[in-house]
Amino acid sequence: MKPSKRLDRIPPYLFAEIDRKIDEAKAKGADIISLGIGDPDTATFPNIVEKMHREIDDASNHNYPPYQGTKDFRQACVNWMKNRFGVELDPDKETVALIGSKEGIAHVFFGYVDPGDYTLVPDPAYPVYANATYLAGGEPYFMPVGPENNYLPDLGKIPGEVARKAKIMFLNYPNNPTGAVANLDYFKEVLEFAKKYDILICHDQAYCEMTYDGYVAPSFLQIEGARDYCIEFFSHSKTYNMTGWRIAWAAGGEKVLTPLKTIKSNIDSGAFKAVQKAGIAALETPQEKITELNEIYRSRRNIMIEGLRELGWDVGSPKATFYLWLPVPKGLNSAELAEIMLERAGIVVPPGNGYGPNGEGFFRIALTVDENKLREVVERMKKAGIHFNMASGAVY
């Protein structure tokens, strides 16, 4: 039985491949340290777990939830948006619960993209943006981002004929995989571009609370008129260590949000109500708990950066996310560097080309192991001769 032709355009999913490589290495007896996947290693906050314990025994939570999410959950999201960004939303019309933000991000393409339509996708970027475009029958137009443009798409370089056929522009700041950030002035430029070409802005806000050194991430929806052109996707996964819980929400104007709601009501039946109630508890978590968690990542960032500098990397300190985006040594490509790290040091890192063609020449480190493990990473790299001045794959 032949699968759908649309699957022919989908490459092996990067993080599934990383899991496979880890399993293979462990099966051979290797002692693996994985810096590959952005999955927090610390536990979900106790107030959230305690709420779940209580709610899971309540039989009223065991039936189907409302397709849009429970009213209480949507109201909690609206309250959070007002407290955090000063943005006032209608809980009934301008927000929808998601089964994790990845689900909503993938489904929004089916609400907007027809065969032959373009989507505007940063390169490098989270792989789902391009892959979901292919699944919906569209064509991603890759917007190169790199150090030369502060990892912000240069809107002036998007051809007019592409922009006129584009339905969606996807952005993600603070950014995975690069750790880059954007300000409201840039968002305003994007909004004007979207208005000119009638494009939906989809902004992935998974890392908006994972910030350091005084940086505070803004919301697109803070801009007047943005809700008519923008959907923002907010996730519980990273902020509250809830990756496995699969709870998130999307916010935007009623008109732009309706297609996503329509797709979801025909594909899924919503998140478990007990999980939504735990999600409310998460949104009510005291800020000092978030600050404490961010301090853990900030300390890890500093340790890893110090070690990388000793190994020859000239690396700055990202203001957000728990990722470091690093150039591979000269003479190697990103896949070769990832292979050397795994085979010679037992360290898993994803190659930059897994995030798009323009990711070639880089690799990503996720700060999702404790400080002692990070120090061990540096020592393993030193012993294996892995440093920035490697040439032609030579290790010395």
Tens digits of per-residue pLDDT, 234-265? 999 999 999 999 999 999 999 999 999 999 99
Predicted pLDDT at 314: 92
pTM (2 decimals)? 0.94
Cα–Cα dist 321/184, whole Å: 18
Judged by phi (left if over 0) then psi (alpha if -120 to 50, else beta), residue 119 lies in: beta
Which tokens go with 388? 């920035």
Q: Domains in the chain, start-ordered, CATH in brackets?
A: 5-43+288-384 (3.90.1150.10), 46-285 (3.40.640.10)
What confidence score (pLDDT) does residue 392 get? 42
Structure tokens at 187: 């968002």
The closest of 240, 247, 191 to 220, measured between CA atoms, is: 191
CA dist., res. 263 & res. 393, Å (int): 48
Name the H helices within the chain. Answer: 14-27, 46-56, 71-85, 101-112, 128-135, 160-163, 184-197, 254-267, 273-283, 287-310, 334-345, 371-384
State the pLDDT at residue 394: 41
Q: Which residue has the tokens 């809830």?
A: 242
Dump pLDDT digits (tens) for 366-395.
999 999 999 999 999 999 999 998 754 444
Cβ atoms of residues 154 and 171 within 8 Å = no
| Per-residue model confidence (pLDDT) at position 395 | 40
For residue 18, what are its two tokens? 């990383």
Residues (pLDDT < 70) of the chain are 13-15, 391-396
